[in-house]
Amino acid sequence: MIIKDTPEEWETRASVTPFTGAKTSVRTDDVVMPDGSVARRDYQVHPGSVAVLALDGQDRVTVLNQYRHPVRQRLWEIPAGLLDVPGENPLHAARRELYEEAHIKAEDWRVLTDLYTTPGGCDEAVRIFLARELSEAEDERYAVEHEELDMAVTAVPLQDLVRGALAGDLHNNCLVVGVLALVAARAGDGLDALRPADAPWPARPFEV
Has 148 been annotated as catalytic? yes
Cα distance between residue 84 and residue 111, in whole Å: 19
- The series of mean pLDDT values per 10 residues for the chain, 208 residues long, is 94 97 95 97 97 98 95 97 92 96 96 97 97 90 68 95 98 98 97 97 92
Cβ 83 vs Cβ 93: under 8 Å: yes
Answer yes or no: is 208 within a domain: no
The amino acid at 4: K
Give the type of residue at 109.
Answer: W
Domain shared by 85 and 140, yes or no: yes
Instruction: With respect to residue 204, please indicate whether it lies within any of the assigned structural domains.
Output: no
- pTM listed for this prediction: 0.94
C-alpha 36: how far from its chain's center?
Answer: 36
Choosing from 88, 136, 148, 207, the catalytic residue is 148
Q: What is the pLDDT of residue 92?
A: 97
- Quote the radius of gyration of the chain (alpha carbons, Å): 18
CA distance 183 to 77: 17
Indicate if 119 and 16 belong to the same structural domain: no
| The predicted structure's pLDDT at residue 138 | 85
CA gap 120, 30 in Å, rounded: 15
How much is the pLDDT for 139? 76
Strand partners, 110: 130, 196
Distances, alpha carbon 113 to alpha carbons 29, 91, 188, in Å: 29, 13, 14
Q: Per DSSP, which regions of the chain are E strands?
A: 12-20, 25-32, 38-45, 49-54, 60-68, 73-77, 80-82, 104-116, 125-136, 152-157, 195-196
114: β partners: 127
Regarding whether 54 and 35 lie in a shared domain, the answer is no
Q: Is residue 137 part of a domain?
A: yes
Q: Is residue 202 part of a domain?
A: no
Same domain, 83 and 155: yes
Name the residue range of residue 23's domain: 12-45
Sheet containing strand 195-196, strands side by side: 80-82, 49-54, 125-136, 104-116, 195-196
Find the CATH number of the domain harbouring 87: 3.90.79.10
pLDDT of residue 145: 64
Residue 141 confidence (pLDDT): 73
Same domain assignment for residues 24 and 104 = no
Does residue 32 lie within any of the structural domains? yes
pLDDT for 84: 85
Residue 146 pLDDT: 63
CA distances from 34 to 6, 12, 13 (A): 17, 12, 14
- pLDDT, one tens digit per residue, over 93-148 is 999 999 999 999 999 999 999 999 999 999 999 999 999 999 998 877 766 666 66
Specify the number of domains making up the chain: 2
In a domain, 7, yes or no: no
Query: What is the reported pLDDT for 21?
Result: 93
